[in-house]
A and B are shown apart, each in its own frame.
Chain A
Amino acid sequence: MDNWHVVLLHTRQSTLLKRAVEVAFPGRVTSIHVPGLARHQHYSVPKKNLLNYFREKVYDSGIWGDRVLTIYGDGEYHHWTYALARLALEKRKFDSWTYFHFDQHRDDWDVRDDKGLCPKLHCANFVDQIAGDFNATPFMVGPDVYPKKESDGYNIDGRHIPILSKYFTQELQQAWEWTNNGVPEGYMGTEIPSQRDLKVTPTPAYLTFDLDLLSRSEIVTNFDQNDDMTLRRVCQIMDHIRPHKRIFGADILGFPDWNQHHALSCLTMIILARKIMGLGVEKLLKYHTYAKRAQAGQINSQFRGDYWVDLENKSRESPIEEGELLEALS
């Protein structure tokens, strides 16, 4: 865990998240101001341009020799992970590796050409391209399940790539000839990955974490979220994955830096980052529970006619202040 480095890509000069990350991981953080990755740009980019941009503006050979956890902004730009995974592989020679996709959405959905390739990448089509271009085995850790699509796998440039999923396990995929994408009943989206699937996939692993996977009680994002998935549940899932995998890089995104005043969201991200890096989280999880209780009180105060917090509101107030957060992290 000593060789982890945190890279924060931000498009605003000073944000709460930047201050919180620097307090939480002293001496390990490199903040890179990348205004070119701001909103209104790069919704859809050719792969080559994306890689060139990251090589010029973001890649630093001194940092990427270590294991790097990149924290960046908006979920609309999840396709940057394509470039980040490539940079993480730069100095490593793996025949194959596992790509863990923690996300409320699958991001492998768009029109492809005859070979299964996409000329341009955007936030909904990059997962199978990572698998095809960088020889990865995709492992879906999210609620979106498509039985037929998953049992068919990807077909890219004549190669068949299996899709693993924490709910729709290989055993389940092979148990039946799935002819449509109907999801079996009783599915919550918070299941633990199968040990068998974790054993058969390659040991080196890259992990991408889109924060909209988490419940609205944990974090504010600008996408739909799964209210059944708490941070503690994610920690349990990570505890099951870690014994089978060696994580060589990771990224976290989905908390846009144009909307960063929510201290509880920052706390959630820091705990998640610590969990990915293999650091202890128990003390911070207790503080997180305290903050969520305070938030529950604010939600309930609607019945007393006081000021109240609505989880639908994307600019809602946080139950904890910045000062409290920084003190807890230091």
Chain B
Amino acid sequence: MSSEDRGIVDAAKEETLLAMYRSVDRMNRHMLEHSPGKDLGDSIISEQHLQINLRGNFEELQEPTEALD
């Protein structure tokens, strides 16, 4: 992987982590304000799904790929 490619991957990783932190912040706000009538608000579950997706995206960036090597 060239240093330029590595720079792009690092930027994408940073972007993914920042998206993860924002999602955790939003999830905490939902925890405080979500609908008491439900066990877990739909929005809390959606943030958890987003975090799983982001983790998958991050792990994919960790793996060396043919295109980048």
* Smallest CB separation, A42 vs chain B (Å): 8
Interface of B is mostly: helix
In this complex, how many residues of chain A approach chain B with their Cβ under 8 Å: the count is 30
Q: How long is the Cα–Cα vector from A144 to B41 in the complex, in angstroms?
A: 8
Tell me if A41 and B50 are in contact (CB < 8 A): no
Q: Taking A110-B26, A222-B49, A222-B53 as contacts, is the C-beta distance between A181 and B34 under 8 angstroms?
A: yes
Q: How long is the Cα–Cα vector from A12 to B12 in the complex, in angstroms?
A: 18
Residues of A contacting B16 in the complex (Cβ-Cβ under 8 angstroms): 40, 43
- A109 touches B (CB below 8 Å): yes
Q: How long is the Cα–Cα vector from A43 to B18 in the complex, in angstroms?
A: 9
- A193 touches B (CB below 8 Å): no
- A96 touches B (CB below 8 Å): no
Q: How long is the Cα–Cα vector from A104 to B38 in the complex, in angstroms?
A: 15
Residues of A contacting B37 in the complex (Cβ-Cβ under 8 angstroms): 182-185
Residues of A contacting B5 in the complex (Cβ-Cβ under 8 angstroms): none
Among residues 1 to 29 in chain B, which have CB atoms less than 8 Å away from a CB atom of chain A?
12, 15-16, 18-19, 22-23, 25-26, 29
Tell me if B50 and A181 are in contact (CB < 8 A): no
The interface centre, meaning the residue of B19, B30, B60 with most chain A CB atoms within 10 A of its CB, is B19
Which residues on B are within 8 Å of A, measured CB to CB?
12, 15-16, 18-19, 22-23, 25-26, 29-30, 33-38, 41-43, 45-47, 49-50, 53-54, 57, 60-61
Which residues on A are within 8 Å of B, measured CB to CB?
39-41, 43-44, 74, 76, 104-106, 109-111, 122-124, 143-146, 180-185, 212, 222-224
